[in-house]
Amino acid sequence: MQGKISKIHYPRNTRELLALLGKGRGRVAPVGGGVSFSFSVPPKVSELASMRALGLDGITLDRKGLHLGALVTIAGLASSPRAARFMGGLLAGAAARVAATTNRNLITVGGNAVRLFIWSDLPVVYCAADARFMVRGAKGARRLAAEQFYKTQPLTWLRCSEFIEEITIPAPGPRAGAAYEKFCETENTFALVSAAACVTLDRAGKCASARLALGGLRLLPRMSEKAAETLRGESPSPARLRDAAAAAVGEAKAVRDIRVTADYKRELATVVARRALEKAFAAAGAQRSGESHA
């Protein structure tokens, strides 16, 4: 029972939703699956506006990339044939590792992006893949890069009149590879650390670009500029990837986790980051050899 919730609205379209949010001045929260509201309601909120009638439950794939409607469920993303085709199934694969089936069928992409936990999977992937968030408000839409979106906790800066409409993951260039790695003690406990890597190779097989994001060290995903620098223009040799992973974890402090020490988390993050890089470069390498055969 969430005694604080006194009303649920069912707006029929974006205009009605925006009107409700505007009038609510923080009292009304937009809600997708509503999972997080079942166990915690933000301080000012006492009414909910269901986004279900807005038609935001589509996944489309075009030249620009993969577009995820905010109301797509995590299970829907995990089983989407389009998502499976995109970036070697990066998004679909990561979605399949979010919590468990019974949760994935409820949690929506939008809610999952906004309600951030230290063990969240997809936000790490969004950062590595340079995803764009379409945030709709009364005065129109604004597009934010994932790094901006997760610069601080979304719930602290999102205006009460705004909601997430869509997340777009840009189509990668040629010779690209991506991977998501996650480490849990058991499959259904919260992850200790995770890492997502999106890389491209040049024609010579050297690293053209590398984006590496780490999860689990602190609440917000941690993008590593140092890893990118370590790799750019270099051959992705095992030693180089090890250096890049070490650089990424670098001096980063891990916040307290009741289950393990911060030192172990850092060691673990280094291994997981390196494995993500290895898989991403292997995928990019396979693309490149496919290219040269063609």
Partner 1 sequence: MKIPLKINGVTKTLEAGPGEILLDVLRREGYKGAKFGCGQGFCGACTVLLDGEPVNACLLLAGLVEDREITTIEGVGAVDRLHPIQEAFLDAGAVQCGYCTPGFILATKALLGKTPEPAEGEIKGALDGNYCRCTGYVKIVDAVKLAAKRMGGARLGRRLEGAR
Partner 2 sequence: MSEKRKFNEVNQARRRVDGIGLVTGRALYTDDYDVPGMLSAKVLRSPHPHARVKSIDASKARALPGVKAVLTWRDVPRVIVTEAGQGYPEPSPYDKFILDNKVRFVGDEVAVVAAETAEIAEEALGLIAVEYEPLTPIFDPRESMRNGAPVIHDEPEWLIPIPVEMDPKKNLCGRADVTIGDMAKGFAEADLVFEHEYENQYAQHVANEPHTTISYLDPDNRLVIISSTQVPFHVRRIVARALAIPVKRIRVIKPRIGGGFGSKQDIVTEPLSAALALATGRPVRLQLTREEVFVSSRTRHHCVTTLKTGIKRDGTLTAIEMTALQNAGPYGTHGLTVLTNTGSKILPLFHCPNVRFNAWSVYTNLSQGGAYRGYGGTQSGLAVNIQMDEMARAIGMDLPDLYRKLHIRQGEGSPVFAALGEGAEGHAMTINSCGLADCIDIVLRESGWAKKRGKAGTGCVRRGLGMAIMMQGSSIPKIDMASCSIKMNEDGSFNLLCGATDIGTGSDTVMAKIAAEVLGVKTSDIIVYSSDTDLTPFDVGAYASSTTYLSGMAAKRCAEKVAAQLLAVAAEMIEEAAEGIRLEGGKAVGKKGEVTLARVGTRSLYEKDQHQIAAFASAFSDQSPPPFAAHVAEVEVDTETGRVRVVRYVTATDCGVAINPVLAEGQVEGALLNGISYALSERYIYNEKGRLLNPSFGTYGVYFTRDLPEIRTFLVPTYEPTGPFGAKSIAEVNINGPLPAISNAIFDAVGIRLRKSPYTPETVFNALKSS
Chain contacts with partner 2 (rule: CB under 8 A) = 1, 3, 100, 183, 185-190, 192, 258-261, 264, 267-268, 271-272
CA distances from 21 to 31, 154, 197 (A): 11, 17, 37
Binding segment for partner 1 among 47-55, 158-166, 233-241, 279-287 (CB under 8 A)?
Answer: 47-55
Q: Does position 77 bind partner 1 by CB under 8 A?
A: no
Options 12, 43, 63, 100; binder of partner 1; rule CB under 8 A: 100
Establish if 43 lies at the interface with partner 1 (CB under 8 A).
Answer: no
Q: Which stretch binds partner 1 (CB under 8 A): 48-56, 152-160, 246-254, 284-292?
A: 48-56
User: Least separation, in Å, of the C-beta of 141 and partner 1?
Assistant: 25
Choose between 70 and 208: whose C-beta lies nearer to partner 1.
70
Interacting span for partner 1 (CB under 8 A) from 14-22, 26-34, 144-152, 211-219: 26-34
Query: Contacting partner 1 (CB under 8 A), which of 14, 19, 35, 246?
Result: 35
**How many residues bind partner 1, per CB under 8 A?**
30
Q: 52, 82, 240, 275: which one contacts partner 1 (CB under 8 A)?
A: 52
Report how far residue 294's alpha carbon sits from residue 289's, in angstroms, rounded to the nearest whole number.
9
Q: Check binding of 105 to partner 1 (CB under 8 A).
A: yes
User: Could you say which of 156, 186, 187, 258 contacts partner 1 (CB under 8 A)?
Assistant: 187
The entry of partner 1, partner 2, none near residue 235 (CB within 5 to 8 angstroms by kind) is none
Residues that bind partner 1 (CB under 8 A): 1-8, 10, 31, 33-35, 37-39, 48, 50, 52, 75, 96, 99-103, 105-106, 187-188
